[in-house]
A and B are shown apart, each in its own frame.
Chain A
Amino acid sequence: MTARSAPMGCRGAEARRVETGPMNIAFAAPDPEVAEISEATGSMLTRLGGLEIARGLLDSDDKAARSADAALLEFGLLDLAACQDPAQPASLHHLAAVLGALGTQVLAARYIPGLVQAHLATALGLEAPAAWTGAVAFWDSPCTDLAWARNARSLVVHVTGDAAKVEGLAPTVVGDLSDGVVFIPTHVDGDDLLLMSPLRATGIAVRNRPSLSPTLQISDLAFQGAACRVAARGEAARMALRSAHRLALCAVASAQAQAAGAAAQMATTYARERFQFGLPIGSFQAIKHRCADMYIEAQLARSMADGAAADAGNPDAPHAAKAFCGDAYRVVTTKAVQIHGGIGITWEHAAHLYLRDAHATATLLGGGAAHRRILAERAAASALKAA
């Protein structure tokens, strides 16, 4: 209101404050505990094989990945994702730190679906899963409203009390669907419902899709008269899914930001060690400036992801982080592959693991354009309210 009534071009303190009003993320000083968690996860992942885990999956060898699955369960990662109070947005700081460490090894996408599912289960007062299998069917939706709507469009649901029969296809569900439970947000007779079913139940067929990124598993779920249970409805369902969605967005963004940093570092190390024309290629400004740009992008992304994870209750923050970090990670990996020259386009080199992960995770939960549109709509709504 103040800004609107102030004369055009006013640069007073009051006007500045209001200008930053509709969209902002607060700075939080780094938490030493968070740094500790990140470091501990990092050294554990190095012991487990680092990038070789994702490399193995790319070459259809999941031995190292299975060891990592077990180690991360024992580490208590699933418990970190559990929801203490669905009315309060989860404290994401610690979880984001672990995901950042997973991101540097291109592993985050393998574990995020399980974490989101664990969060949702505990938010609904159900028992948390004890394995990484299972998923929530909303991975192509930038916001929960769309998640309800999209599933409602592709599924036919008949509800009788707390039981539901489901027909149709839930496409591109992310996660390991070999076992565990699937949660399905859907919309029936004017009510938002969260359905759930064991994945091994009769009437559910899982069709795995081949994936660009070895750590991102994608499947189509076909329901043929599957008997599901209504886990929650109405406001309870909406609140739980919103909390899980927020966790998913922040988790992906944290992983992307740290992965961008790792890819940038890998390429910068190469620029230092690779000689052409008698000099390290990093001494040529064409390369040096690319390295500096990658560093800048990764630093911006890191602060964005950290800020979003720490700024609980800010409804813009998860969208902002997902849009920004996804773009930053893609930009960095394009440069990182290029700096490696010919070796960067070989199967044996790890640069393309980051490239694959960047583009795969950017599409999860809606691309950058979708999240920027949501932010723009919110900014417009808040401007309208202010007027």
Chain B
Amino acid sequence: MNLPPALSSLPDAASESEIGKIVEAWLRAELPPEWVRAVDANDPVALFALRENDELSTSWFRKLGSTGLSTAAWPVAYGGLGLPRARAQMIGRSLAKYGAGPPLKYFTGLNHAGPTVLDCGDDEQRARFLPPLARGDEIWCQLFSEPGAGSDLAGVATRARRDGCDWIITGQKVWTSYARQSDYAILLARSDPDKPKHQGLTFFIVDMRLPGIEIRPIKQITGMAEFNQVFLDDVVVPDALRVGEVDNGWRVATSTMLSERSGLGNQPGETADVAAKLLARVAADPEAEPAVLDQAVTLRLREIALNLVMARVAHDARAGTPGPEGAIGKVCRSELSQAVSELGVASAGVGGLDWRPRDMGSPAAGLLATRAATVAGGSSEMQRNIIGERVLGLPKDPGVDPRAPWRDLRRS
């Protein structure tokens, strides 16, 4: 990695706060001037507009990615800086402060595919895929969920059949972000339907430009179509792009999901204090009902407690990988965002009902947009199972037989 001179002292920095200073000085010098101005003026609207400018934010990320700052915990050979986790997180916080982190279209690649290939891929796969991912040259998506396999991800029905040195893959995936823009996907498929469901899965890297792949957008209740359905019809994938052993894909997918949980529940700098904003709005309204004000304060108190507990979880987990306690953040943050959005509509009265498809920012739009939070990335029910079973050690739901062959399981 050729670090620019301004960053050359980074690997030897004495402390995390020194890291922050070095990174921020570099950001101020390298970000477009209007970007720095928006940050200094604390103008989230202007900053949002800059980040939404695909050309600008992509060219920014190419510059950032080539330094390894956004993949600082990755080995130097694969486009990272080889830094310990806590120091990489410090860099992440500095980037977030300037809204300078990777654009959303790189999220799956950097947070799901990259860590998975690093953890479970072979050296050839790491050398081929990680450096372009770190540089922002390639975009990735995730082909996990299916119409019949949401919470029960290990129940996926997409079939992978061995054919000499290749695999033939057929099935239907859903909830895929950025499918159309993606160069590659990580995919979980059923390689042996006669084994118990967790034991007959294999994990692949798939070239999204291959014949047999069809992408259809899904319109959401917000009026936007951020997700897609992806249909695979006899797509030919070379065995060299299999990640991990045949029929051992669940272990690989678990590695992906561990990085997903930490990514969604505990994104440094991304946790906007929604209850604080609502409280400020309601408190400024002289006609606000006392009961509404009371509810707004109650929600804000919950938000403060959540921020504190997440800071403690992050502090405790600094050395190791994120634990199942991260599920607290996912459950509370998503449900809080919904409660805040509901009170937002209730407190604004009939005048707060203005809504158009693809609308953002209004109380009514917030109501609709927050619905996905308790479903996507592991539903609240599944998060509570994680807390109940992995944190508290309670037994699993009765009636679920993990040893039955997948073929014999009833599906809807």
Give chain A's interface residues, CB within 8 Å of chain B.
139-140, 171-172, 174, 209-213, 216, 218, 273-281, 283-287, 330, 334, 337-338, 341-342, 344-348, 352, 355-356, 359-360, 362-364, 366-370, 372-373
Residues in A whose Cβ lies below 8 Å from that of B409: 277-278
Q: Which of B353, B371, B411 contacts A345 (CB 8 A)?
A: B371
A246 to B310, CA, bound (A): 48
Bound-complex Cα distance A280 to B290 (A) = 43
Contact B375 A210 (CB under 8 A): no
B349 touches A140 (CB 8 A): yes
Q: What separation, in Å, do the CA atoms of A359 and B344 have in the docked complex?
A: 10
Q: Given contact pairs A275-B148, A277-B151, A334-B342, enumerate 19 new A-B contacts (beta carbons under 8 Å).
A: A212-B353, A212-B368, A218-B353, A274-B412, A275-B410, A276-B152, A276-B412, A278-B400, A278-B404, A281-B151, A286-B381, A341-B375, A346-B221, A347-B223, A359-B346, A359-B353, A367-B292, A368-B346, A369-B291
Return chain B residues, CB-CB under 8 Å to A213.
353
Contact of B360 with A by CB under 8 A:
no
Compute how far the CA of A367 lies from the CA of B345 in the bound complex, rounded to whole angstroms: 10
Give, as a whole number of angstroms, the nearest-CB distance from B335 to chain A.
9
A334 engages B349 (CB within 8 Å): no
Q: Which residue of A lies closest to B376 (CB)?
A: A342
Instruction: Pick the contact of A342: B349, B350, B375, B384 (CB < 8 A).
Output: B375
Q: Tell whether, in the assembled complex, residue A174 and residue B350 are in contact, meaning their CB atoms are under 8 Å apart.
A: yes
- B371–A359 contact, CB under 8 A? no
Give the CA-CA distance A367 to B145 in the complex, in Å.
39
Chain A nearest CB from B151 CB (Å) reads 5
B350 close to A140 (CB less than 8 A): yes
- When the two chains form their complex, are residues B289 and A370 in contact, meaning their CB atoms are under 8 A apart? yes
Contact of B375 among A174, A276, A285, A338 (CB under 8 A): A338
Instruction: Indicate whether B123 reaches chain A with its CB closer than 8 angstroms.
Output: no
Beyond A355-B371, A369-B289, whether A342 also contacts B346 by CB under 8 A is: no
Most A Cβ at <10 Å: residue of B155, B174, B359, B368:
B368
Cβ distance A359 to chain B, nearest Cβ, rounded Å:
5
Once A209-B354, A279-B399, A363-B350 are accepted as A-B contacts, the answer to whether A372 and B412 lie under 8 Å apart by CB is no
Residue of A with least CB distance to B359 = A210
B397 within 8 A of A: yes
Contacts A275-B410, A276-B150: A348 and B353 contacting too (C-beta < 8 A)? no
Please state if A275 and B411 are interface contacts (CB–CB under 8 Å): yes
Chain B residues, Cβ within 8 Å of A373: 289-291
Closest-CB distance, A109 to chain B (whole angstroms): 11
Distance, CA A330 to CA B354, complexed state (A): 18
Residues of B within 8 A of A370 (CB): 289
* A266 CB to nearest chain B CB (Å): 15
- Complex: A318 Cα to B404 Cα, angstroms: 56
B380 interface residue per 8 A CB criterion:
yes
Chain A hits for B40, CB < 8 A:
none
Name the B residues within 8 Å of A171 (CB-CB). Answer: 351
Bound-state Cα–Cα, A346 to B371, Å: 10
B390 touches A (CB below 8 Å): no
Residues of B near any A CB (own CB < 8 A): 145, 148-152, 155, 174-175, 218-221, 223, 289-292, 295, 338, 342, 345-356, 359, 364, 367-368, 371-372, 374-376, 379-381, 384-385, 397, 399-401, 404, 409-412
A347 to B375, CA, bound (A): 15
- Return the chain A residue nearest B221 by Cβ: A352
Taking CB atoms, residues of chain B closer than 8 Å to A285 are 397
Q: Which residue of B lies closest to A360 (CB)?
A: B353
Interchain Cβ contacts under 8 Å between A and B, 10 examples: A172-B349, A209-B353, A275-B411, A277-B152, A285-B397, A341-B375, A347-B219, A359-B364, A362-B346, A369-B289
Residue of A nearest to B225 (CB): A347
CB-CB under 8 A from A372, the residues of chain B are: 291
Is there contact, CB below 8 Å, between A338 and B410? Answer: no
- A363 contacts B145, CB within 8 Å? no
Bound together, the chains give a CA A216 to CA B354 distance in angstroms of: 11
Nearest 3 interchain pairs by C-beta: A278-B409, A369-B291, A275-B412
| Alpha-carbon separation in the docked complex, A226 to B399 (Å) | 70
B350 touches A359 (CB 8 A): no
Assess the A341–B379 pair: CB atoms within 8 A. yes
Query: Are the CB atoms of B367 and A355 closer together than 8 Å?
Result: yes
Given known contacts A275-B412, A346-B220, A369-B289, A218 and B152 CB-to-CB distance under 8 angstroms? no
A117-B399 Cα distance, complex, nearest whole Å: 56
Which residues from chain A contact B381 at a C-beta distance below 8 Å?
284, 286-287
CA distance A341 to B397 in the complex (A): 19
A278 adjacent to B401 (CB under 8 Å): yes
Contact partner, A346, options B218, B376, B385, B412, Cβ 8 Å: B218
Chain A residues contacting B354 (CB-CB under 8 Å) are 209-212, 218
CA gap between A138 and B384 in the complex, in Å: 44
**In the complex, A373 Cα to B353 Cα: how many Å?**
23
For the complex, what is the distance from the CA of A356 to the CA of B399, rounded to whole Å?
Answer: 36
CB pair A139–B350 under 8 Å, yes or no, is: yes
A346, B218: Cα distance in complex, Å: 7
Residues of chain B within 8 A (CB-CB) of A209 are 353-354
Q: Are B346 and A367 in contact (CB under 8 A)?
A: yes
Cα separation A370 to B351 with both chains bound (whole Å): 16
Chain B residues near A334: list those with CB within 8 A: 338, 342
In the assembled complex, the Cα of A174 lies from the Cα of B219 at a distance in Å of 28
A348 near B219: Cβ-Cβ < 8 Å: yes
The smallest beta-carbon distance between B208 and chain A, in angstroms, is 21
CA distance A334 to B373 in the complex (A): 12
Known contacts A338-B374, A367-B289; A284 and B397 CB within 8 A of each other: yes
CB distance from A378 to the nearest CB of B (A): 16
Contacts of B175 in A (CB 8 A): 342
Is A363 a contact of B353 with CB atoms below 8 Å? Answer: yes
Interface centre among A338, A342, A348, A370, by most chain B C-beta atoms within 10 angstroms, is A342
Most buried by A among B289, B348, B359: B289
Q: Report the minimal beta-carbon distance from B194 to chain A, rounded to whole angstroms.
A: 15
Give the residue name and chain of the A residue nearest to B355 (CB): A212
